[in-house]
Structure 1
Amino acid sequence: MVINLAIEVLENADFLEKWDIDKLFKQIGKPAISPLIEIIKYREIDLE
């Protein structure tokens, strides 16, 4: 799935690749929101 690949790139990419992936998430739209929220929640838990 495109969202999963984009998330993998987002987690492992350099700044410029992340910048490009941001544009992809904008094109995907609402279906991208839920997976991105899960990443944010995971990182918040991971930091504590």
Structure 2
Amino acid sequence: VYMGVPVKLGAAGIEEIIELNLNKDEKKMLDDSANSVKSVMKVLDGMNLFED
């Protein structure tokens, strides 16, 4: 699982990274979401559900 940013794609790949102008509350929500995903992945990793 990963998080990414929006980009403009062309024939040769990424042409431009689109910067998001997040306000303080939006940035906190994004950070909280990322931390929640990390926590869940850590729990799942400890359950040995996925092969290395």
TM over 0.5: no
| Higher RCO (C-alpha 8 Å, min separation 6) | 1
Structure ID, larger Rg: 2
Structure ranking higher in helix proportion = 1
Question: What's the TM-score, normalizing by structure 1?
Answer: 0.42
